[in-house]
Structure formats: C-alpha cells, structure tokens
C-alpha cells in the first residue's frame, strides 16, 4: 500500500496533522475537544423546553438587580464559554443591566490561576469555577461565599428558596459542593466515569464464541476487574488479524488508559480501589456526625491488588498510554484504536461515540465501570468572597445553573448535574444518542454515590487539592515501574499525613 502508514494512517494525514499542530492548532486539539459544539437550534430548543416547564426558575424571575457593576466569571473554555458569550450572557445583561466578562480557562489550569488571584485578594473574579476536590479547601479558607448567605441577602426566596432550587441537583454532587453543612457552589459539569466500549466487538457472535473457547466463560461487558483484564487481553490484536468479522487495518488494543503524568491516572486507580471495596484514606465521623479525622488505609491488600490490576491492564493498552490524559484516551476510542475505555468520564461520551461516524458499522455503548464505583465528581460555580458585585454574581450563578442553563449545556454535549435535565425525555431519543447517550448510565452511577461521597477523604479533606497531585504522582511511579507498589504506597501514606497535617482540616487518626 504505497503512501499508507502501516497502521492505516496516510502520508498526507501525517504531514497535515503535524503541520496543523506545528502551526498552533495543537492548543485547540489538546484543550478543546472538537466533538463538542453547540447545536445550531439550541436557542429555539431551550426556549421551547423552558416554556414547557414554567415552574422552573428562569431568567424572568430574576428581580431588579441594584448593583450594576460588571462581573467577571471563570468558565471552562470551549463550546460552553462560546455559547455563554453569544447566547446566555446577552440575555442576562439585558434582563439585569449587569455586564459579564468571561474568562475561559482549560480545566487543568483553573485551580492554580484562580488560587493565585484569591490568595492575592485581587478581586479579579466575581464568579469562580471549582472542581469538587477544592471546594472544601476554598470554603475553609473563606474564598467562596456560602450560597445560603447570598440567598438571604439578595433573594426574596431566602434560604428555603435556595434549598428548593438545589433539589434537582444530584445529592452526591451537592455533598461535594458543601462544607460544614453549607453549600458553596452549584455543580454544572458532571464527570462521573463509565466504561465506554465498542459494542460491535463485544457483542459480535464470532468474538463471543472465540472468547468462550479461550476463557471458558461467556464474553460480556466486564463487571469485575478479572473479567476486564481478560476482555482487554482478548481484544489486543495486530493489524491484519480479524476483529468483529473484519480485518484490522491497524493494531487494536483492549483498553485505553490515562497513564500519563496527569491527575487522571489517580481517578483510574481510585475507581479500581473503590470498586474493590478499599480506600486511599477515609473520613471518620463521631456519633453526632461531626468530622473527627481521617484514616489512611494504604498500603493494604486491596490497594496493592488494585495497582496490580492496573499493571495488568497496561499490558493491553497502547504503549503511548504512558503519556496519555483524557483527551488522548477518548480519542483512541474515537479513532478505532481500542475496544474499551474502562474509566472514561461520561462527559466525554460525544468524543468516544464519534467512532460511529468515523467508522461506519461500529457501535459505541456505555456501562458502569467494573466494580461499580466509578470516579465521580463535578465542576461547580460559586461567588468569590471578594466579588466586586456579589449580587450580580449570585444571580448569574443561579441563572447559569438553572434548568435553562443546564439544558443549553446538555445540547452542546455537556454532562449536566441537574436530574430534571438529564432525565428529560428530549435527551432519551435515538437522534440524541451520539451526544447525550451516556445520560441514563451516568444517572444510575451518580445516584449510586449519593450516600458514600461523604465517606471519602477525596471529597471531605480541605487539603485534597494538594493530596490529589501526590496520589497521581504515586500512581504514575507505579505504572512506570519506578517503585514497587508497597514502598510507593508507604511513601504516599507519609505524604498524605504530612500534607493533611500541614494544610488539612482534620487530624489523621491511627488505623
């Protein structure tokens, strides 16, 4: 095959891709995910849905805002910030007279950039975007205003009205946004994980027969980690071999993993540890429900087995996975390179499912991750303690997370945090499957976390923003075989104790 890359990539593709990246498009490809785009008719659909749900809070219910000062808001860059600028913000400004400046940021720099402004007390941002792991930290440091306090001050509906407003949001996600019984932020972007897989492979009769012959049990969507290892190994094949009844033009791998030196490797390890019934460190409460401290549980047998499981899975992942983050892992499925992405964030479903449009005959599906305890979390927005216009900021937060805001977010492919939007019949149709097809599974998995979020140090420690990085470093060291599993965990345990002791909200209790 002249001019064809051995793995199905043409010469023109290679030059074109590299040239495009070299001329600066790399930033877009790295931080913006091309599968996300706001529907052309989003405005019309949103207006129809809002009209059909008159009981929901909407723009019309925002009262006269006395403070007209401009507000500056931080939002994740990409389709969402674009849509806000062109659609939602003009309406908000028209209604309230408050101008809004949008500062788009990729999620991987949000923490550091906002933290610097907050520590410097610059008042640079009125509305903050925050990931679940640093809500407790910012709340404890007084960087974010409690929502009930804002509601009391600016909303005639008061605390009860705000409590009622928050009801449609997933309870587990709201627990993450709450510190010492006060909600500080409203979630809008749910990134609970799912097992994204190629149903055309896993459900193919020939594959099922071959798998049963080889492993002695039927091929199905893996529910345990042992099954996941087998299925991953089974679908790891060389170019030229058959898969799903067709010859492979390029190598196929069982799984895509995010084993690069990024925080997402921790999310994969966490899903395995939690799925096996273990923990990194867990929250201990006294009989009255007050936080007593944290218990570090690593290195224990479960966490060691979890790491061994991950190492086994790496054998069925593309070698490049050692440098991958979530965009690369999601794209691996979109490009037909892998059979499964076992720990993929469901808000990336529009990317993974795009395999269907790129390779006709393929079929993407989503299931719960093996072990049933996917990594979960959300990005939320709240009002900065030093906001120039807290009144305008409060109403903007409420508007952005309203039924209308979350509907618009969902139409662009976002993964909303309001159940009334997620379960809206509009999104359950076959036409919406490639954009919103992970909602039903995501709903079940997010709901399953409702009562257990508060038991995890991940969502309760005020030092989690810092501990999270250390968890990822340890996972990366293990994956890279720099350290044996137990010594790596022992080193990590000492770091958790150190960081929690220096920056955290509760003491470390002896296990």
Of the candidates 205, 196, 195, the one whose C-alpha atom is nearest the C-alpha of residue 242 is 205
In whole angstroms, the minimum distance from the beta carbon of 476 to another protein comes to 5
Q: Among residues 198 and 398, whose Cβ is nearest to another protein? A: 198
Return all residues near 466 (Cβ < 8 A) that are at least 6 apart: 499, 503
In whole angstroms, the minimum distance from the beta carbon of 348 to another protein comes to 18
Q: Among residues 77 and 402, whose Cβ is nearest to another protein? A: 77
* CA distance linking residue 424 with residue 420, whole number of Å: 6
Positions in the binding site for another protein (CB under 8 A): 5-7, 9, 11, 13-15, 17-18, 21-24, 26-27, 29-30, 111-112, 115-116, 118-119, 141, 259-262, 318-324, 335, 337, 465-466, 469, 473, 476-477, 479-482, 491, 499, 502-503
Going by their DSSP bridges, the two strands 338-345 and 253-255 should be labelled as parallel
In whole angstroms, the minimum distance from the beta carbon of 162 to another protein comes to 27
In whole angstroms, the minimum distance from the beta carbon of 71 to another protein comes to 23
Q: Among residues 151 and 493, whose Cβ is nearest to another protein? A: 493
Q: Among residues 78 and 374, whose Cβ is nearest to another protein? A: 78
In whole angstroms, the minimum distance from the beta carbon of 7 to another protein comes to 7
Q: Among residues 204 and 466, whose Cβ is nearest to another protein? A: 466
The alpha-helical segments, DSSP class H, found in 343-481 are 349-352, 355-358, 390-400, 403-411, 419-422, 433-436, 439-448, 464-479
Q: Among residues 135 and 221, whose Cβ is nearest to another protein? A: 135
In whole angstroms, the minimum distance from the beta carbon of 212 to another protein comes to 32
- Residue 272: how many CB atoms within 10 A of its CB? 27
Q: From the centroid of its chain, how far is CA 386?
A: 28
DSSP structural state of residue 417: S
In whole angstroms, the minimum distance from the beta carbon of 118 to another protein comes to 8
For the chain, helix, strand, coil in percent to 5 are 50, 15, 35
Q: Which helix (H) or strand (E) holds 378?
A: strand 378-383
Of the candidates 230, 303, 296, the one whose C-alpha atom is nearest the C-alpha of residue 266 is 303
Q: Among residues 258 and 340, whose Cβ is nearest to another protein? A: 258
């Amino acid at each position: 095959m002249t001019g064809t890359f051995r793995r199905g990539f043409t010469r023109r593709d290679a030059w074109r891709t590299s040239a495009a990246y070299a001329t600066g498009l790399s930033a877009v490809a790295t931080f913006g995910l091309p599968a996300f785009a706001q529907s052309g008719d989003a405005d019309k659909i949103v207006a129809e849905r809002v009209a059909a749900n008159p009981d929901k809070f909407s723009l019309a219910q925002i009262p006269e805002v006395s403070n007209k000062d401009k507000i500056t808001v931080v939002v994740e860059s990409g389709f969402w910030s674009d849509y806000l600028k062109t659609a939602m913000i003009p309406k908000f400004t028209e209604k309230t007279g408050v101008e809004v400046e949008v500062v788009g940021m990729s999620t991987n720099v949000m923490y550091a950039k906002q933290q610097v402004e907050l520590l410097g007390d610059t008042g640079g941002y009125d509305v903050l975007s925050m990931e679940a792991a640093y809500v407790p930290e910012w709340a404890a440091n007084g960087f974010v205003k409690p929502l009930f306090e804002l509601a009391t001050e600016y909303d005639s509906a008061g605390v009860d009205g705000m409590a009622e407003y928050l009801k449609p949001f997933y309870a587990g996600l709201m627990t993450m946004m709450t510190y010492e019984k006060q909600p500080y932020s409203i979630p809008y972007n749910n990134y609970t994980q799912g097992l994204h897989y190629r149903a055309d492979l896993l459900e193919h009769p020939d594959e099922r027969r071959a798998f049963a012959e080889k492993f002695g049990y039927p091929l199905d969507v893996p529910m345990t980690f042992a099954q996941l290892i087998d299925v991953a190994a089974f679908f790891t094949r060389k170019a030229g071999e058959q898969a799903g009844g067709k010859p492979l033009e390029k190598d196929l791998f069982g799984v895509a993993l995010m084993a690069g030196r990024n925080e997402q490797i921790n999310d994969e390890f966490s899903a395995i540890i939690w799925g096996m019934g273990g923990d990194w460190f867990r929250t201990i409460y006294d009989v009255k429900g007050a936080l007593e401290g944290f218990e570090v549980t690593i290195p224990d047998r479960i966490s060691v087995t979890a790491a061994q499981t991950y190492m086994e899975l790496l054998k069925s992942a593309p070698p490049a996975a050692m440098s991958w983050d979530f965009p690369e892992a999601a794209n691996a499925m979109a490009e037909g390179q892998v059979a499964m992405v076992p720990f993929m964030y469901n808000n990336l479903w529009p990317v993974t499912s795009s395999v269907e449009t790129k390779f006709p005959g393929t079929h993407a599906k989503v299931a719960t991750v093996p072990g049933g305890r996917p990594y979960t979390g959300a990005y939320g927005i709240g009002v900065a303690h030093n906001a120039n216009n807290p009144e305008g900021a409060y109403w903007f937060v409420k508007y952005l997370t309203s039924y209308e805001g979350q509907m618009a977010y969902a139409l662009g492919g976002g993964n909303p945090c309001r159940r009334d939007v997620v379960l809206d019949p509009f999104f359950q149709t076959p036409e919406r499957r490639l954009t919103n097809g992970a909602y039903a599974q995501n709903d079940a998995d997010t709901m399953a976390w409702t009562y257990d979020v508060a038991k995890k140090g991940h969502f309760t420690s005020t030092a989690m923003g810092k501990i999270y990085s250390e968890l990822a470093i340890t996972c990366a060291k293990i994956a890279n075989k720099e350290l044996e599993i137990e010594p790596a965990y022992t080193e990590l345990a000492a770091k958790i104790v150190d960081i929690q002791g220096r920056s955290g909200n509760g003491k470390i209790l002896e296990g």
